[in-house]
Structure 1
């Protein structure tokens, strides 16, 4: 590619040095704010290419940052944050956890925790939020039995990654779909049939390891009405309703339940909506800054260079799919954040997908699958760190029991090898 320029990638290197370097030095990979690292890297990108005026480079940056897909993604992030916070504030999370815990057979508690985490994360759209909700229950179960605390936490983390990879309101799913120009329901269907075997195999392994163990969990109350907004959001999304309308209806339903049962009064509901939106500001601004930086890097020839490296040995469509999987996996190892890794890799993956005829639903699925697989295995990732903190154990001790993330990676590889899904028949048949 005649425009390929490796020097244009310096902003990426600056970002990785700041974010990863500070993590290695301090031992805390969240010590250096990621948004500050991206801002500095974006500044470096603007300072490069002295042949162009700063005004033109700023225009290029703003063109990328204000891309229609990026703006849509930002709005979806904000609405998803509002729904999640409103539902949580009126007790939906607690009721969902209590309901599912009450119906799980006592001799299948570890498998049950995994399945519960799958449902909760699918409803909430956040793996960390699901871990925070379920980890205390897992600690109690481990304390009442001889079950390893690491095994219990591994089951919870695995189930939480299930929804992170599939939920219609997960930031990773939203990002993967928007960057690839895919339909949410199409990506969900592809992803679901890939990860379902992973979830089944994980359940079997967990059941085998916990065989013979049981515990008496005290009866806990729940209110099924509070779970209705979660269920309806999933149903509306599955039938293909516009994602904006899905999230708005979810906010209205969750807010209405909270007002009726006294969890909210009008102003506290408005405050909760505002808090939920504010909680997504960082990821929204990250999306904007990364998109702008990538546009500058692309203009300077950096994207062409990466595409050349990633595709120079690719001879087949499968090779291209493995290239996308490798790119997002390496980026996630570097950033310890699957959403950020998809944001960074998304434009590159889209170019590769277009060049080799990979459908948007498949490229979006690959991005989400492999980023979540790696994220669930990182001892310095938010998921394992959160679970380990609640349980009072080392995050490294959980890794041997992180069966689901491993199985997702394996199933993702198998899906590429067998050519799943088959290309859609565009004739409409």
Structure 2
């Protein structure tokens, strides 16, 4: 397929997306459906039958099914933990111990530790992140800043955790040992985290104790104690979930345990009825309060709150499925590879291709899968160790997914933290600093590992068969 035909669906999608989202403030679903329709017509024009095109869409959706299951469970976790008083307890004690000027640094570090332990940025953002949003907003810190710090910490932990699915995926697809992959990422990820924390420290200085509205904090704390029974024992529920995943219990059963514990807490600790607890899982928690911030914080969660995210994921993956399986994406990357003539340009091309795949296919898993298969031979031909590729895939794919509003990650963040990509984007510092560090390393040769002849033979057989 020629590059012109391959780019046609993207052009239609991007133009319609820009008009719908930025001019009319509509959801991204219809522009993606327009892109899917154009992609289907292009594929049909190139000899694919309608049955084959439908199968491409089904394959795309199938790739996102694990993410959809997690999205459903996260909606239930948020509802159960709000109804059970877990989120209120975390916010209540957080208001007691966190200093406003150090809040952004603190929440970033906490999210990083939790995500490192459980291997999931999504689960971290949906639990600790939701509580962090409540604490930060009550301190009058802008939502975009809070979300940016939560995202930076969550993705740091996810990226460096041996339990993370994206980390295992990047290592596995390139034939790299998992812990060699993680060690190699230290050189880009740790400097990125340090830059992010220093920036949050200086940004946070404007939110001093004098800036803190004590009356507002007292009103929020009083409102929570009126609505919920606050006890530190409720903190054991997130601790149990973290420990389960730390002991290598898969994310799905660990989240189910969290849901059941939150559901039980709403009945036995908060004294609510079985009907209301079940309704919370379905429709989210509903509370009535004169405090607008309290209602914004706690009237959320539940299965129904995730329907927008689920439908968005399905529509996005039909588009991505046609692009990938019809060969359009391959045609685009083939042209890009022609300009990657040295190590620096190859790594830069890898990072940018991962970002472009995030924007076009709307799923971070595809941004790792497709470029890994497209570029592995080019890395081996240049005697570059596959861990250079696996690191570039994470630097450019895993991290940049949050900046695309219609990517499953961007949609998930909007659904859980309630903040748009353009609001948190400037403050998700780790996520955009690391790709630049990765590209700089490529051009300078710093921490770029070459292979011996024996290693080249071994990795060629392992990665290419």
What TM-score do you get using the length of structure 2 for normalisation? 0.65
- Aligned counterpart, 1:161: 151
**Structure 2: distance between partners of 1:309 and 1:238:** 43
- Aligned counterpart, 1:367: 397
**Structure 1: distance between partners of 2:183 and 2:94:** 24
- Residues 114 and 159 of structure 1 are in contact (CA less than 8 Å); yes or no, is this contact kept in structure 2? yes
Q: Residues 78 and 230 (structure 1 numbering): CA distance in 2 closer, same or farther, change over 3 Å? A: same
- Residues 64 and 314 of structure 2 are in contact (CA less than 8 Å); yes or no, is this contact kept in structure 1? yes
Q: Residues 363 and 353 (structure 1 numbering): CA distance in 2 closer, same or farther, change over 3 Å? A: farther
Q: Write the mapping of 1:200-215 to structure 2, written as runs, cut at 5 A.
A: 200-208=194-202, 210=205, 213-215=208-210
C-alpha displacement of 1:309: 2.6
C-alpha displacement of 1:302: 0.8
- Aligned counterpart, 2:34: 40
Q: Write the mapping of 1:9-408 to structure 2, written as runs, cut at 5 A.
A: 9-26=7-24, 28=25, 31=26, 33-48=27-42, 49-50=44-45, 51-66=47-62, 69-104=63-98, 106=99, 109-116=100-107, 119=110, 125=123, 134=132, 137-138=135-136, 141=139, 155-166=145-156, 176=166, 195-208=189-202, 210=205, 213-215=208-210, 217=214, 220=221, 222-262=230-270, 264-275=272-283, 276-315=302-341, 319-330=345-356, 340=362, 342=364, 345-352=367-374, 354-355=376-377, 356=379, 357=386, 363-364=393-394, 366-372=396-402, 404-405=430-431, 407-408=433-434
Count of equivalent residues: 389
**Structure 2: distance between partners of 1:193 and 1:248:** 36
Query: Structure 2 stretches of 5 or more lacking a match?
Result: 116-121, 284-301, 380-385, 460-465
Query: Which string of whole-angstrom CA distances, capped at 9 and with x for unpartnered residues, describes residues 297-319 of structure 1?
Result: 33443122122133222246664
- Residues 90 and 263 of structure 1 are in contact (CA less than 8 Å); yes or no, is this contact kept in structure 2? no
SS in 2 for 1:314: coil
Q: Residues 403 and 266 (structure 1 numbering): CA distance in 2 closer, same or farther, change over 3 Å? A: same
**Structure 2: distance between partners of 1:381 and 1:298:** 21
Higher RCO structure, 1 or 2 (CA under 8 Å, sep 6+): 1
C-alpha displacement of 1:8: 3.2
Query: Which string of whole-angstrom CA distances, capped at 9 and with x for unpartnered residues, describes residues 110-157 of structure 1?
Result: 222441355369577475987775556546545xxxxxx6xx656423
Q: Residues 260 and 368 (structure 1 numbering): CA distance in 2 closer, same or farther, change over 3 Å? A: same
**Structure 2: distance between partners of 1:389 and 1:290:** 20
- Residues 351 and 435 of structure 2 are in contact (CA less than 8 Å); yes or no, is this contact kept in structure 1? no
C-alpha displacement of 1:103: 2.0
- Residues 176 and 365 of structure 1 are in contact (CA less than 8 Å); yes or no, is this contact kept in structure 2? no
Worse overlay, 296-305 or 283-292: 283-292
What TM-score do you get using the length of structure 1 for normalisation? 0.70
SS in 1 for 2:362: helix
**Structure 2: distance between partners of 1:206 and 1:343:** 29
- Residues 61 and 292 of structure 1 are in contact (CA less than 8 Å); yes or no, is this contact kept in structure 2? yes
**Structure 2: distance between partners of 1:303 and 1:399:** 26
- Residues 93 and 133 of structure 1 are in contact (CA less than 8 Å); yes or no, is this contact kept in structure 2? yes
- Residues 71 and 412 of structure 2 are in contact (CA less than 8 Å); yes or no, is this contact kept in structure 1? no
Q: Residues 163 and 213 (structure 1 numbering): CA distance in 2 closer, same or farther, change over 3 Å? A: closer
Q: Residues 290 and 90 (structure 1 numbering): CA distance in 2 closer, same or farther, change over 3 Å? A: same
